[in-house]
Amino acid sequence: MGVRIGGKVERVDGRKLNYRDFVERYLKKNIPVLLTGLMEGWRACSDWVQADGRPNLQFFADHFGESMVQVADCCKREFTDQKELRCLFLSSFTNGFKLLQLNALKIQTALMANRYGKNYVYDVYGDICEKKFPEFNKAMWSECMQESNEIIFVPSGWYHQVHNLEDTISINHNWFNSHNLSWVWNLLLKDYVEAKEYIEDIREICNEFERICQRNLAANTGMNLYDFFVFLTRFALANLTLLRDLCNENGAYSLSRVMANHVLSNIRAIRSVALCMVSVEAFSEENLSGCSEENLSVSSVIKGIMEEQNFHDLLCALTTTLEALCQGHVDHCLENMLEEVNIVDLSCFYIGSPADLVKLIEEVIPNHYNVCN
């Protein structure tokens, strides 16, 4: 079965694309884009490469030669991924493993928006078993060549394959915000359901069934449902704190209407996901009351959270990010937008479940759930 190329990834000068246009043209539509001109001035573009464009391995050896790093043996598989090892940075080269990939002078990238069952196609140009992947030949692919110092946005749910045409170095960043928060939740929920299915036969004889499910989920996906809920709670509190300051004319932040829209969009997305979490077995009263020691942080006294240095850092980072996104907007007329926001003392609340989080959000912004950005 051959790969059918049905389109090209759009190439855009990122210096001429503001965040609002990026959201409307690519993020909301969940389509890929290749951005140029945004890495000028990055030290990595000079320190990490030699004059001829090849990776400067000596630089990494000099600065990180004694660091322990994770490497992948591309010739061996372990469960659903490449076999991973940990070793000293220098030995990772002598062992012949490819440590850093992507962002080469030329990269051929194929993107696909479909997954077939629980199996994966590891090489779309390889010998694909038609019996195992009967729908593969119907998949339509997009293709692009990524040059040095270019950024490619791979949307949520798009499966992709990279072919390095020469030795490469990349910076990869996985992230999510209000526009794709639901994708993250849906992925976690799907993997959680599978984690339960794999050990369903021991449910009746195991007193720690849910704990084992969460442990396996974290090992496979990188976090479990309780980890995600702890993050969601803190992210919600950071946005609610910013919203409170917006409503205070003497607040610490001078925020525009555009910035307020971002805050409200974040809060609405969090509420939507939290509502979905309410009916999930992991968040039943029985399972929450029996949380294992490593998951006790799922229950959160807000006053304690807001006194944490990590929360203060999160709030500062959120504010800085939103200010950067809204740079250039001067509209400070927030009265109509915020007139129905209730000013409440967040520290008086306790969040022990997704239902508690939904209740808190509805207490603060009772009529903002369907407002468009």
For residues 353 and 206, membership in a common domain is answered with yes
Cβ neighbour number for residue 73 with a 10 Å cutoff: 15
pLDDT of residue 9: 86
- The residue whose two tokens read 């049905």 is 6
Task: Please indicate, yes or no, if residue 370 is contained in any of the structural domains.
Answer: no
Distance in angstroms (rounded) separating the CA atoms of residues 1 and 334: 57
For residues 188 and 289, membership in a common domain is answered with yes
For residues 329 and 184, membership in a common domain is answered with yes
Residue 316 tokens read as: 């500062």
For residues 146 and 211, membership in a common domain is answered with no
Cβ density class 246-269: b for 16+ within 10 Å, e for less: beeeeeeeebbbbbbbbbbbbbbb
For residues 139 and 223, membership in a common domain is answered with no
Task: Please indicate, yes or no, if residue 175 is contained in any of the structural domains.
Answer: no
Cβ neighbour number for residue 6 with a 10 Å cutoff: 10
Q: Is 188 exposed, middle or buried (0-12, 13-18, 19+ CB in 10 A)?
A: buried
pLDDT of residue 279: 94
Residue 261 tokens read as: 């829209």
Task: Please indicate, yes or no, if residue 373 is contained in any of the structural domains.
Answer: no
Residue 41 amino acid letter: G
CA dihedral 360→361→365→371, nearest 10 degrees, is -160
pLDDT of residue 206: 86
Find all residues with CB under 8 Å of 82, minimum gap 6, and list them: 72, 73, 74, 76
For residues 190 and 124, membership in a common domain is answered with no
**DSSP states of 280-307 as a string?**
SGGGSHHHHHT--GGGGGGSEEHHHHHT
Nearest CA to 268 out of 344, 332, 341 is that of 341
DSSP-derived 3-state class of residue 92: helix
DSSP-derived 3-state class of residue 330: coil
DSSP for residue 216: H
DSSP for residue 2: P
- The answer to whether 52 touches 64, Cβ cutoff 8 Å, is no
Strand positions, DSSP E, 66-198: 68-78, 81-88, 107-112, 140-146, 151-153, 159-164
Domain that holds residue 32: 5-160
Which pLDDT tens digits describe the chain residue by residue (373 residues)?
A: 567 777 788 999 999 998 889 989 999 888 889 999 998 888 988 898 888 888 888 898 888 888 877 777 766 665 556 666 665 554 433 332 222 222 223 344 554 433 434 566 777 777 877 777 777 777 778 888 888 888 999 888 887 788 778 888 888 888 888 888 998 999 899 999 999 998 999 988 888 898 899 999 988 888 899 999 989 999 999 999 888 877 765 444 445 667 778 888 899 999 999 999 999 999 988 888 766 555 555 556 777 888 889 989 999 999 888 888 877 654 544 455 555 666 777 777 788 899 999 999 998 877 655 443 4
pLDDT of residue 373: 40
Distance in angstroms (rounded) separating the CA atoms of residues 311 and 83: 35
Residue 279 tokens read as: 């009916």
Number of structural domains found in the chain: 2
For residues 271 and 328, membership in a common domain is answered with yes
Find all residues with CB under 8 Å of 247, minimum gap 6, and list them: 338, 341, 343
**DSSP states of 226-260 as a string?**
HHHHHHHHHHHHHHHHHHHHHH-TT-S----HHHH
DSSP-derived 3-state class of residue 186: helix
For residues 114 and 260, membership in a common domain is answered with no
For residues 193 and 117, membership in a common domain is answered with no
For residues 304 and 195, membership in a common domain is answered with yes
Distance in angstroms (rounded) separating the CA atoms of residues 267 and 338: 14
Residue 270 tokens read as: 């969090």
Task: Please indicate, yes or no, if residue 336 is contained in any of the structural domains.
Answer: yes
Single out the residue in 107, 130, 160 at which a domain terminates: 160
